[in-house]
Amino acid sequence: MKSIFRVFYSGMSISFFGSMVIGTIGLSAMQISITEGIRPAINFSIGSIVAEVIYVRLLLVALTWIQKNERIFKIMEWLAVVIVVILAIGSFKASMGHHGAKNVLLSYTMHRFLLGLMMRAISPAAIPFWLGWSSVLYAKGIMQDKKGFYNGYLLGIGLGTFAAHCIFIFGGKMAVQKLDASQEAINFIIGCVFSITAIAQIWKILKKRYQHRKKHKVMN
């Protein structure tokens, strides 16, 4: 039981601090909480958590296969960039006070749970993140190939991510109320962060491709 609690605590800690890094999912949850309310934001968070837990569960049983399928990673990387760009454009439109302006992805046509599920499902960053940490936990003997350990690990991940999202959700709402900040100002800031995220992601993809080609030329 003590060993299972250890892997539970490890999963929760890794997930919490990893989710606290400003990223697409956390900012989207904050934006939804500000513009639509707490419940839709929580639904969005739960959807993203479900996708993340499924990711990790598949990683634990298919580490080798996932590492070999680089083409899937490349497609998902560019899809993630497109989504972040759309979110940035929508945020800037909303910040300029355009009536009814809203991110396409944050429109009312999709339930927030499904939106969170989709956005996390095509986010490739979660795969290498959990691939690396899971490998470390295996190497240290914290994680074991047993159902009880898997369940404890996944439960910890879910709770850690939800706790981090709650800080974004309730923190964003409180920031608008306490600081008397307008939604336009918040949307502009979020748009800037989304833009920086998109640029960083594109740079990362192009740099990886350049290094791969350079390495291939050297080998030939």
Among 41-45, 125-129, 183-187, whose mean pLDDT is lowest? 183-187
Instruction: Return the pLDDT at 101.
Output: 47
For 182, the token pair is 């307008």
What are the residue boundaries of the structural domains of the chain, listed by start?
A: 2-80+106-181
Yes or no: say if 198 and 88 are a contact pair by the CB < 8 Å rule: yes
Q: Work out the percent of the chain whose per-residue pLDDT is above 90.
A: 18
Q: How many CB atoms sit inside 10 A of residue 199's CB?
A: 14
What φ, ψ does residue 141 adopt, rounded to 5°? 80, 5
Instruction: Return the pLDDT at 106.
Output: 55
Instruction: Return the pLDDT at 99.
Output: 46
Q: Mean pLDDT for the chain?
A: 76
Instruction: Return the pLDDT at 162.
Output: 95
Q: What is the pTM of this model?
A: 0.68
The H or E element spanning position 19 is helix 2-20
Instruction: Return the pLDDT at 22.
Output: 64
| pLDDT at 185 exceeding the cut of 70 | no
For 97, the token pair is 């006070």
pLDDT in tens, 73-116: 666 567 667 766 776 776 677 667 554 445 445 555 678 898 88
Provide the Cα torsion 55, 61, 67, 70; round to 10°: -50
| pLDDT at 47 exceeding the cut of 90 | yes
Cβ partners under 8 Å of residue 116, min gap 6: 25, 28, 29, 43, 44, 45, 46, 47, 48, 49, 50, 51
Q: How far is CA 66 from CA 145, 147, 170, 182, in A?
A: 18, 21, 36, 44
Among 16-20, 25-29, 126-130, whose mean pLDDT is lowest? 126-130
| pLDDT at 198 exceeding the cut of 60 | yes
| pLDDT at 156 exceeding the cut of 80 | yes
Instruction: Return the pLDDT at 104.
Output: 47
Instruction: Return the pLDDT at 218.
Output: 57
